[in-house]
Amino acid sequence: MRDVIVAANWKMHTTPAEAAELAATIASRTREPDVTRVICPPFVSLAAVRDALLTSDPDVGIGAQNVHHEAAGAYTGEVSAPMLAGLASWVIVGHSERRRDFGETDERIGQKLGRATDAGLRAILCVGERAEERDAGDAEAVVEAQLRGALSAHDPEVLAAAGLVVAYEPVWAIGTGRTALGSDAASMAESVRRTLAGLGWGSAADAVPVLYGGSVTAGSIADFLAEPSIDGALVGGASLKPDEMAGIVARAGLTARARLAAA
């Protein structure tokens, strides 16, 4: 069975003090033993969130929002995978905002994925198409190219053993007013797993959790989790609101228990 995962991406929000309080509040309101919960605060708040969760709920995972593609070097202002030891056990790579604002290529994202895996971090690899690409009918081709560009240089057995997670985030549905349907996400999740199989993953492709990440809220999550091919969510703005996170994780818990009962 694939993990049911809810990962909170706080982006560039919260000071360390605010992050510690928010993490503890969310942890206390999302106690669902069958759901894997992850909070990804800014780098400067990782230690504060770690310390807060040690006392409030150590079952909540901590993730970084990014990582450098080298293990060390003259890269002012950057953070490498080995530096995250003891602070995080998860990391987001290839987020659409990193691709858009910092020009990250699929090759560079693949390098980051390799560094993260080497350091024992469980990676959430983000993929997704822009509005013009979907409107042109190229959505699946774009995501396939992103996956191939990031993964082709890696051994599938190594990434599978490291617990790779893929997050499908349709760029056209993030803060635009356009909304994706559960069926859109499910179709892409199936395409993701076909691509992985084509990259030599074999049956391991079916074991890779695929999350939805496109302005998901407590009100919209049910549509996505109703799809058997969707295994949770990468939550953006709503993850800063305890009420929203409580609703999202509660719905994820229903999905997880239903899947366990059917197994």
- Residue 25: name the closest of 34, 37, 11 by CA: 37
Catalytic-labelled residue, pool 129, 169, 227, 244: 169
- Residue 63: name the closest of 249, 239, 253, 260 by CA: 239
Judge whether 169 counts as a catalytic residue. Answer: yes
Distance of CA 150 to the CA centre of its chain: 15
In this structure, what token pair is assigned to residue 73? 């070097």
Catalytic-labelled residue, pool 32, 95, 133, 140: 95
Residue located via tokens 């599978």? 160
- Residue 221: name the closest of 181, 168, 167 by CA: 181
Judge whether 104 counts as a catalytic residue. Answer: no
Helices 242-262 and 16-29 pack at an angle, to 10 degrees, of 40
- Give Cα separations from 72 to 42, 78, 115 (angstroms): 20, 9, 11
Judged by DSSP in three states, 200 sits in helix
Backbone phi, psi, residue 107, to 5°: -60, -45
Cβ neighbourhood burial of 114 (10 Å; 0-12, 13-18, 19+)? buried
CA separation for the pair 214, 239 (Å, rounded) = 12
Please answer whether residues 74 and 61 qualify as being in contact, where contact means their C-beta atoms are separated by less than 8 angstroms. Answer: no
Residues serving a catalytic function are 95, 169
